[in-house]
Structure formats: C-alpha cells, structure tokens
Amino acid sequence: MTDYDVLRVFCAANGGYGNELGVVRDGSTIPDPDERQALAAKLGFSETVFVDDPERGVLDIHTPTLRLPFAGHPCVGTAWLLDVPELVTPAGVVGTRLDGEFTWIEARPEWAPPRTLRQYATAAEVDDLAVPPPGEWIYAWAWEDEAAGRVRARAFPGRDDGIEEDEATGAAALLLTARLGRALNIVQGAGSQILTAPQPEGWVEIGGRVVLER
C-alpha cells in the first residue's frame, strides 16, 4: 500500500472540523496518471495530492474522478506539510507563508474551477439546505455579519462520486472573495474556518489551520 498522510485543512479554533486531505509525499512511487486517479478514487477524499518534487513544491491534485490544475484546501494543507515558500501547480505558482496558527496561500481567481456562487438571505437558510442532486457545483452562502465580513457557507460539488458536500473549499472561497472584493471570515460545513484577503493585482490570499490526522 502506498504511504500517505491524512491532514485536516481549515480547522476551527479548537482543532476540530476541517476537510480531510490525502497527501502522497513521494509521488514518484506512483508515476502513472491512471494509477494516481485510481488511488484517489480508492481513498475517497475530496482531493488527494501527489508531491512530485518536495523541495520545489511541485504538486499533482486529484479528486476521486478527475485531475485539477488548482485547488485551495490541497494547496493550504500541502504548504503546511512541506513548509516551502511556494507550490507549483499546473495552473501556476502558488505563494505560501506560515503565520502563527494559520497557513496562507496566494492564488488567482481564474485558476479556480467554475462554481455557482448562490447567495441566501440568512445563515439559517444555508444551514437548512438539503443536498441537491448531482449536476451544478454550488457554493451556498449568506452573511452572518456583513460589516465584519463574516460568512456562513456550504459547498455541494454536484459530482456523482460519493462527495455530496465539501466541508471546506478554498477555491470557492477564492471566487467569493474576488466577487465581493473584501476580506472574509467564512464558517463552512459543520464548523470549518476559512480566512481570505484580496491582494494587489488580482491575487487573493486564503488561510486556515491544518492538523495532521494520521
């Protein structure tokens, strides 16, 4: 069996919640793309990362059904694990930094896959949503406190791969931050926390806590 780490990314202040992430630190053990995809499907995480060069931070990111050029929580988690100044993804070079309990990445909104950002009137409406049928990738959100930039969100990938709801999704938070043009403090899923901040020239920072699960 291939060795891999399991992280939880975008944890709450108490270390709970967060979205699980599988990381194969030595991607050279599985060089074949089809074998990587098969392992990602077998592990069943919303994303699995294969590290092709740990010193340069070269990554290959897979969902259970497809390869992604960029994804938020895999980059945040792998940045924490490797402790490198940048990550190299097919979409582009992702800047990284560690700041106390938070790990931050800097990325561009155009790298994120398309998402439907659907605003609701209240956080309670978001809490009460049922999982929609497969199809559209929906990021449901509402202001908890607009003046303070606090957002309640849930993410429904709309894929037919067993992942009905994503606990924490950096790419969707990236798109929402770009649309609103302001820093956000997002509580997503059961209780995960994602911080974001717009940067010059269209970049966006995404930050969160990371815990090594096993």
Q: What is the pLDDT of residues 85-129, one digit of tens each?
A: 999 999 999 999 999 999 999 999 999 988 999 999 999 999 999
What average pLDDT does this structure show over 175-179? 97
Single residue among 74, 100, 126 that ends a domain in this structure: 100
Same structural domain, 35 and 73: yes
Percent of the chain at pLDDT above 70?
100
pTM, whole model, 2 decimals? Answer: 0.94
CA 72 to chain centre: 3
Residues 74 and 159 in one domain: no
Host domain of residue 32: 5-100
The pLDDT of residue 158 is 86
Within a domain: 23: yes
Alpha-carbon distances of 77 from 1, 102, 127, rounded to whole Å: 22, 11, 26
Residue 89 lies in a domain: yes
Per the structure, the count of domains in the chain is 2
User: Among 148, 214, 133, 161, which residue's Cα sits nearest to residue 187?
Assistant: 148
* Among 100, 130, 157, residue at a domain's last position: 100
Residue 5 has pLDDT above 80, yes or no: yes
Q: Kindly state the percentage of the chain with pLDDT values over 90.
A: 92
CATH number for the domain including 160? 3.10.310.10
Task: Tell whether 92 and 141 lie within a shared domain.
Answer: no
pLDDT for res 2: 83
Determine, yes or no, domain membership for 106: no
